[in-house]
Amino acid sequence: MKNFFDEYFKLKNIDLFQFSVLNPQIAMLSYLKVGEKMASQPQKIEKARQELLSRLLELQKSFVKTLCSRDDDCIDMKYNSKNQKFEDNVFANNAMMIFSRKFYETISQWMLDTLDSLDEIDPILRNSARFFMKQYIDLMSPDNFPFLNPKVLKETVDTYGENFKKGMEMLMDDMKNGSITTNDRDKFKIGRDIAITPGKVIFQNAIMELIQYSPSTPQVFAKPILFIPPWINKFYILDLKPESSFVKWVVDKGFTVFMISWVNPDKRYKDKGFEDYVTDGLWASLEKILDITGAKSIHTVGYCVGGTLIASFLAYLANPLCKKRPRADIASATLLTTLLDFEHAGDLAIFMAENYLEAIDAQMQESGVLDGSILYNTFSALRAKDMIWRYFVNSYMLGKKPEAHEILFWNSDPTNLTAAMQTFLAADLYRDNLLKTGQLKMFGIPIDLKLVKTPLYVISTQKDHLVPWRATFDSIKLFSGSIRFVLGGSGHVAGVINHPGKNKYCYWTNPKNVDTADEWFDTATKISGSWWSDWFQWIGQISGRCISALKIVDFIRDAPGIYINNQTPEEL
């Protein structure tokens, strides 16, 4: 048996399947390896079998008591799943409906517990197997089957089956488009409904457009702000509708704001890597901002890997070996949900296994880029219940079109990743964690974050599954300068894009110097509202005097530019 597994894992023909997030071959590889470990632990198998029998007997006992109207140890007959709530209807509290869900929950939890109980399994392999098991569990939810879903049954009765007719029409449309629709995209247009903060593209090269936003106050702080968004998404997550735009809010607070809009790369960009994005992105922007404003000190704000780029560049500048630097200094760096220590890298770490990296490399051999649709499907699969099955039920079984939502519109507008950049992120950062160990080099200079003395504002979010906040807290220990660490509510996007006017969520602050994330949280102060207000108070104190706002004179085109619509420059 062991020889069979060894030979199976030596297979290199991953490209038999076109790469996809839920590649069945990679899933099989994970389960076969776990199966090998299970076969060597028969006592665990027997214990798991006994545990399953015990749980099912308890469920049966509770269900019988419920039917007999006994109060003790009864199943709660009111369905109140955390993941999907149904309105009161004639099916929702049906005993068999409740039992099907309790049975599903019992089996699902037992499967996960059994996997977690196995000994001597590589953490990456365990995470991979757990991911695919969660996909199967989410797939088999009773909610996804028409005759086990009370809301679908009620809708079918109320509409005489019209819901399934509408659902089939939407299913056919989605099959033509190649993905499940999660948002009414007709309700939004870039430059008309979102990304409409007034501004101009004042500089352009092969990597990016640089946008300068028009001032909305007569006086502005002397130090401007440069936003560096992630290059795996479009920048307009920071400039959605006016009532939720971080950019507009910062402009209205009296800052001169610049934004990098990265190009959506194609095959011609395959060799463009991290250093190219530093040189032609961050570095070129600092130089241009100095030419326009005369400011020799510029604030920076980096979102996700945009923050990783800023932190790495700061370490490069702080190294005594650095001889070449931009004419403008970086006054501060705000890192929005940024990972620097990749040891506990969140859900994305499961895609750093060799099986996946080989499959991705095979896909990029032809195209020169990691296709944006793969990234989109990856992020969706990490939250399959919310991002896939929710819309499967609502669209195809309830016959309801998805509502318009600006964040979901942005989320379904992915960008490609160059082959060189994908290799750097996956191998050097996620897999080998070179940024933490100090083995990463930029332009031949070792990157040591301990050398950074620039003031830092680090914001993480409590429910972030891509950049876990505890990992972000561990990352700040890599620095030795002044750092303000703040924990926001919600997740990777909603927790960051949280306008104070909406008065949603909360945030935590703690000036104490503690060793662990849990100790920090236990002694932190919880504050209602948005972290934006706290950040403005922090950055306002280090932004210098106010000056008259500059009018934009020389520009190439109106914001939001052309790169945001997947256009590329005519000449590279």
- Residues catalogued as catalytic: 304
Q: CB-side exposure of 159: number of CA atoms within 13 Å?
A: 17
Phi, psi of 427 (to 5 degrees): -85, -55
Strand-pair partners of 441: 446
User: Which three-class secondary structure state does DSSP give residue 79?
Assistant: coil
Are 151 and 79 contacting, i.e. CB atoms less than 8 angstroms apart? Answer: no
Query: Hey, what amino acid is at 74?
Result: C
Radius of gyration of the chain from its Cα atoms, rounded to whole angstroms: 26
Q: Is residue 335 within 8 Å of 460, Cβ to Cβ?
A: no
Q: What is the dihedral of CA 53, 57, 58, 64, to 10 degrees?
A: 160
Nearest to 78 by CA among 60, 66, 64, 61: 66
Q: Which contiguous run of DSSP H or E holds residue 156? A: helix 150-159
Amino acid identity, position 102: K
For helices 150-159 and 162-177, angle between their N-to-C axes, nearest 10 degrees: 110
294: its two tokens: 């005369």
d(CA 205, CA 91): 60
**What is the side-by-side strand order in the sheet with 208-213?**
525-528, 506-509, 483-488, 456-461, 329-336, 297-303, 225-228, 257-262, 208-213, 199-204, 557-558
How far lies 123's CA from each of 34, 126, 355, 369, 553, in Å?
A: 11, 5, 15, 29, 56
Residue 514 burial (C-beta neighbours within 10 Å; 0-12, 13-18, 19+): middle
